[in-house]
């Protein structure tokens, strides 16, 4: 068991009802650009830029605990930030909590998940032709 000694710094980002169900919103705070998702039973925050070609993950389609990047359809897991299909890569995951009707993010505690499972290999699955 690890004992946390660091300070937590929670910043209020938005009222909980301002993110539509199963959608994401871009959150900009100083140097940080995050994608914050309403998964129905919880909120999740990751870096907004897809590891592939920096597509805005906040604009992706949410399915279960993952988001599909709107540019080339990489699938990014929102629990550990790892690419689940498309290719290899990962984004930082940020702690999120809900209190007083607001969503709070600890921007300083963003981290790359260490035990990143091996992503599925191969090309983007079912990539959607965009035009």
Partner 1 sequence: MKTRHLVVVGNGMAGMACLDEILKRDPSFEVSVFSEEPYCNYNRIQLSSVLAGEKSIDEIYINTQEWYRNKGITLHLGEKIEEIDARQKTVTTGRHATFNYDKLLLATGSNPFIPPIDGVKKKGVFVFRNLNDTAGILEYCKKANRAVVIGGGLLGLEAARGLLNRGVGVTVVHLMDRLMDQQLDTIGGQFLKREIEKMGIEVKLNMNTERIFGGESVEEIHFKDSSVIPTQMVVIACGIRPNVELAKKAGLKVNRGIVVNDSMETSDSDIFAVGECVEHREKVYGLVAPLYDQGRVVAATLTGQKGPLYEGSTLATKLKVMGIELFSAGDFKDGEPEKEVISYQDHAFGVYKKVVVHQGCVVGTILIGDTSDANRFLEKMRKKEPVGEARHRLLFDTPPAVAGSPSDVMSRPDSDTICGCIGISKGQIVSAIRDNGLKTVSAVKACTKASSGCGTCAGLVQDILKAVTGAEFQEEKKEVLCACVPFPKTQLRTIIQTQKLKTVQDILDIYGDGTGCSLCKPALSFILDEVLLGEHKEDRSARFINDRVHANIQRDGTFSVVPRMRGGVTSAAELRKIADVADKYKVPMVKVTGSQRLDLLGVKKEDLPKIWADLGMTSGYAYAKAVRMVKSCVGTDFCRYGTQNSIKTGIELETLLEGLYTPAKVKMGVVGCPRNCAEATVKDIGLVGIEGGWQVVIGGGAGKIVRAADILCTVKTTEEALEAALLFFQYYRENGEYLERTYDFIPRVGLENIRRETVLASNADKKALLDRLKKARAKVVNPWDVESKKPVHPMQFQDFVLPKDAEALIETV
Note the residues at the interface with partner 1 (CB under 8 A): 4-14, 18-23, 25-30, 36, 53, 55-56, 58-64, 68, 70-71, 73, 75, 104, 126, 128-131
- Residue closer to partner 1 by CB (options 115, 126) is 126
83 in Cβ contact with 90 (< 8 Å) = yes
Q: How far is the CB of 97 from partner 1 (least distance, A)?
A: 10
CB atoms near residue 73 (< 10 Å) = 22
Taking alpha carbons only, the member of 98, 124, 129, 117 closest to residue 18 is 98
16: tokens are 């909980």
Q: How far is the CB of 17 from partner 1 (least distance, A)?
A: 9
Q: How far is the CB of 130 from partner 1 (least distance, A)?
A: 7
- Residue closer to partner 1 by CB (options 93, 124) is 124
88 in Cβ contact with 78 (< 8 Å) = no
Q: How far is the CB of 71 from partner 1 (least distance, A)?
A: 7
Cα(28)–Cα(34) distance, integer angstroms = 6
Cα(10)–Cα(32) distance, integer angstroms = 14
In angstroms, how far is the first alpha carbon of the chain from the final one? 51
């Amino acid at each position: 068991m690890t004992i946390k000694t660091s300070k937590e710094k929670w910043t209020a980002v938005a009222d909980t009802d301002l993110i539509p169900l199963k959608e994401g919103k871009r959150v900009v705070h100083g140097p940080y650009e995050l994608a914050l998702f309403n998964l129905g039973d919880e909120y999740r925050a990751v870096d907004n830029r897809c590891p592939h070609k920096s597509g805005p993950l906040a604009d992706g389609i949410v399915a279960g605990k993952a988001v599909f990047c709107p540019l080339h359809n990489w699938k990014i897991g929102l629990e550990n930030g790892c690419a689940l299909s498309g290719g290899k890569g990962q984004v930082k995951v940020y702690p999120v909590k809900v209190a007083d009707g607001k969503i709070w993010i600890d921007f300083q505690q963003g981290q790359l998940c260490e035990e990143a499972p091996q992503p599925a290999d191969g090309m983007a699955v079912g990539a959607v032709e965009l035009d």
